[in-house]
Chains A and B, each alone.
Chain A
Amino acid sequence: MDYEIVIGLEIHTELKTHSKIFCGCSTKFGSEQNTNVCPVCLGLPGVLPVINEKVVEFAVRVGLALNCEILPFSKFDRKNYYYPDLPKNFQTSQYDLPIAVNGHLDIVVDGQTKRIGITRVHMEEDAGKLVHSGNTINDSDSALVDYNRTGVPLLEIVSEPDMSSPEEARAYLEKVKAILEYLDVSDCKMEEGSLRCDANISLRPRGVKKLGTKAEIKNLNSFRSVQRGLEYEAARQEEVLDEGGRIIQETRTWDENKGISLSMRSKEQLDDYRFLPEPDLVPVIVDPAKVEEIRTNLPELPDARKQRLMDSYGLSEYDASVITTSKAMADYLDQGVECKADAKAVANWLMGEVSKHLNNDGISILACPVAPKQLAQLIALIEKGTISSKIAKTVFEEMWTSRKDAEVIVKEKGLVQISDSSEIIGIVDAVIAANPQSVADFNAGKEKAIGFLVGQIMKQTKGRANPDMVNSLLRERMTSN
């Protein structure tokens, strides 16, 4: 049976405000347990919340960047349920009148642009952290609670079920992350929990309009998990349906190590959250003039930046797209250009060697040991002909580990390219003399034979000979013989 996959994503992002959403405690990540708490975020008897104006401003920024309508009248509601990471046993969130609705964003997958609808963006408070005494929640006999995170402001971004493949879901998540970074409202670090993603996925026979039963997948802690988790789940659901079974509406958790999803709890008994308007907070009525002010002051967003890179630097759409996915990487490119390096060259290095090393080390561009200025210097050395691009890769390796400047490394290791033919003419003649078969092959028309000879010369010069010069010298000497 040919099934169509239907995916919707719920993204939560922690906002990088100085203080929590309803109290003045710091939102700093990684503090000692229970040191960023106060009576309000502890939910002690008698306390009351007061909204942090920055949270509303950030929410409007995000809503506008996602092409949403900012609702003129918005309010907070209580979502009631019991869980030990929730001190009041209700979460102050937004239910029927969220700050922003009906938006969209465009993603590009395999060269095709697709518009993904965004149902809503709303503000809410985060819960605390639980530490279980055992390895998993089920084999622990107690748990420890840290309330530092309760009250950290969250934005929840809910998409329409418009994605049709795990690739699209990943592209959407990457786009949302990029937008949030460009807006400077969140650190967007999935590994720290400042960006979280839950997915809803269902299958339906192709052509059928009615949506199938969906399952919710949680614990997708990285972009890779999101894609893998959805691929697994789509396959699992297809198998169940093909065997004539039915999909249970439930919450499943993704196990990245085992590469499988497991049932957490059945959502057939839907939680009854008994929403009620938050009596301790009054409505938020955003002044249209203020919305316009925020709109005009929105920073350059990923799509606009991509276009600028294409227009100003002549980058291809693909290259510009890849680089602008990360604001930090796009910033790196701009800084490299400011240091007088050619934009295309910087772009190539970023997408090539830099990304490769970042991935190997599992770090982000922000932690890159090679600064834009240093990369620019390396590129300049290649352009001047001081080193070849092949040697440059070696130099780059050294720059990465030692953090030294390219010029220093080239000097220390004596890697300056030999571009003076008089220095290597001797070696060229010696190699020609030592390999008469290759010379004969070349003269007989086998172009490829020169490669071996070039290799020999490179070996003897420890890679320092200018390859173009070696090539032309060889041809000259061979044909003249």
Chain B
Amino acid sequence: MKITCKDVADVALLSRLEFSEKELETFTGQMDAILEYAEVLNKVNVDNVEPTAHVLPLKNVMRKDEARPSLARELALSNAPEQEDGYFKVPKIMEG
């Protein structure tokens, strides 16, 4: 077993997802199979190999510091599930 139901539950929390008991079990089984398959990565020697985060040799891609017109507020809010007074509205935020 590479991954347990508890591991999956922890990851679910980090991903802001919730699952029923049954779903959790199914997911755990599937993820376990995939991670088993990924074990093949341990067979390859990566000593002295640099990671490739970007496949292109690009660097220093930047733009000039010029202000450009923003989106009209109605458009910015056009997809808002809930809005109020030009703000996006969300349920309360708990601290701690």
* A residues adjacent to B (C-beta < 8 A): 17-19, 23-27, 32-39, 42, 50-56, 75, 82-84, 130-133, 137-138, 140-147, 263-266, 272, 274, 277, 279, 281-285
**B59 & A144 in contact (Cβ 8 Å cutoff):** no
Q: Which residues of A contact B14 (CB under 8 A)?
A: 272, 274
**Known A50-B61, A263-B96, A282-B54; further 5 A-B contacts with Cβ < 8 A:** A34-B76, A38-B76, A39-B71, A132-B92, A265-B95
Q: Which residues of B contact A24 (CB under 8 A)?
A: 63, 66-69
**B89 & A283 in contact (Cβ 8 Å cutoff):** no
Instruction: Kindly report which residue of chain A lies nearest to residue B88, judged by CB atoms.
Output: A145
Interface-located stretch among B20-28, B29-37, B40-48, B79-87: B79-87
Cα A392 to Cα B77 in complex, Å, equals: 58
Known contacts A37-B76, A265-B95; decide if A19 and B54 are in contact (CB<8 Å): no
Shortest CB distance B83–A (Å): 9
Q: Which residues of A contact B87 (CB under 8 A)?
A: 33-34, 131, 144-146
Q: Which residues of B contact A42 (CB under 8 A)?
A: 71, 76
Shortest CB distance A248–B (Å): 13
Known contacts A24-B67, A51-B62, A131-B87; decide if A282 and B92 are in contact (CB<8 Å): no
Instruction: Kindly report which residue of chain B lies nearest to residue A141, judged by CB atoms.
Output: B92
A to B CB contacts below 8 Å, 29 in the list: A23-B68, A24-B66, A24-B68, A26-B67, A27-B67, A32-B73, A32-B86, A34-B86, A35-B70, A37-B73, A38-B68, A42-B76, A50-B61, A52-B62, A52-B64, A131-B87, A137-B95, A138-B94, A140-B93, A141-B92, A142-B91, A143-B93, A144-B84, A145-B88, A146-B87, A265-B96, A274-B14, A282-B56, A283-B54
| Binary A-proximity of B3-31 (CB < 8 A = 1, otherwise 0) | 00000000000101000000000000000
Cα A263 to Cα B69 in complex, Å, equals: 42
**B95 & A143 in contact (Cβ 8 Å cutoff):** no
Known contacts A37-B76, A144-B89, A282-B56; decide if A50 and B96 are in contact (CB<8 Å): no
Instruction: Kindly report which residue of chain B lies nearest to residue A19, judged by CB atoms.
Output: B67
The interface residues of chain B, by DSSP majority, are classed as loop
Number of B residues whose C-beta is below 8 Å from A? 35
**B77 & A34 in contact (Cβ 8 Å cutoff):** yes
Q: Which residues of B contact A82 (CB under 8 A)?
A: 16
Shortest CB distance B90–A (Å): 5
Q: Which residues of B contact A266 (CB under 8 A)?
A: 96
Q: Which residues of A contact B64 (CB under 8 A)?
A: 52-54
- Total A-B residue pairs with C-beta atoms closer than 8 Å? 132
Most chain A CB within 10 A, of B53, B85, B94, is at: B53
**B59 & A285 in contact (Cβ 8 Å cutoff):** yes
* B residues adjacent to A (C-beta < 8 A): 14, 16, 53-54, 56, 58-71, 73, 76-77, 84-96
**A35 & B73 in contact (Cβ 8 Å cutoff):** yes
Nearest 9 interchain pairs by C-beta: A24-B68, A144-B87, A54-B65, A277-B53, A53-B62, A282-B58, A145-B88, A265-B96, A26-B67
Instruction: Kindly report which residue of chain A lies nearest to residue B82, judged by CB atoms.
Output: A142
Q: Which residues of A contact B66 (CB under 8 A)?
A: 18-19, 24
Q: Which residues of A contact B70 (CB under 8 A)?
A: 25-26, 35-38
Choose from A26, A50, A55, A264 the contact partner of B95 (Cβ within 8 Å).
A264
Most chain A CB within 10 A, of B54, B65, B76, is at: B65
Shortest CB distance B2–A (Å): 19
Cα A56 to Cα B92 in complex, Å, equals: 37
**A53 & B76 in contact (Cβ 8 Å cutoff):** no
Q: Which residues of B contact A55 (CB under 8 A)?
A: 65
Q: Which residues of B contact A147 (CB under 8 A)?
A: 76, 88
Most chain B CB within 10 A, of A32, A279, A283, is at: A283
Choose from B61, B67, B89, B95 the contact partner of A142 (Cβ within 8 Å).
B89
Most chain A CB within 10 A, of B59, B70, B94, B95, is at: B70
Instruction: Kindly report which residue of chain A lies nearest to residue B15, judged by CB atoms.
Output: A82
Instruction: Kindly report which residue of chain A lies nearest to residue B51, judged by CB atoms.
Output: A277
Cα A35 to Cα B73 in complex, Å, equals: 5
Q: Which residues of B contact A140 (CB under 8 A)?
A: 92-93
Q: Which residues of B contact A56 (CB under 8 A)?
A: 62
Q: Which residues of B contact A283 (CB under 8 A)?
A: 54, 59-60
Cα A146 to Cα B93 in complex, Å, equals: 15
Cα A51 to Cα B62 in complex, Å, equals: 5
Cα A33 to Cα B67 in complex, Å, equals: 18
Shortest CB distance B10–A (Å): 9
Cα A133 to Cα B92 in complex, Å, equals: 8
Choose from A18, A26, A143, A145 the contact partner of B92 (Cβ within 8 Å).
A143
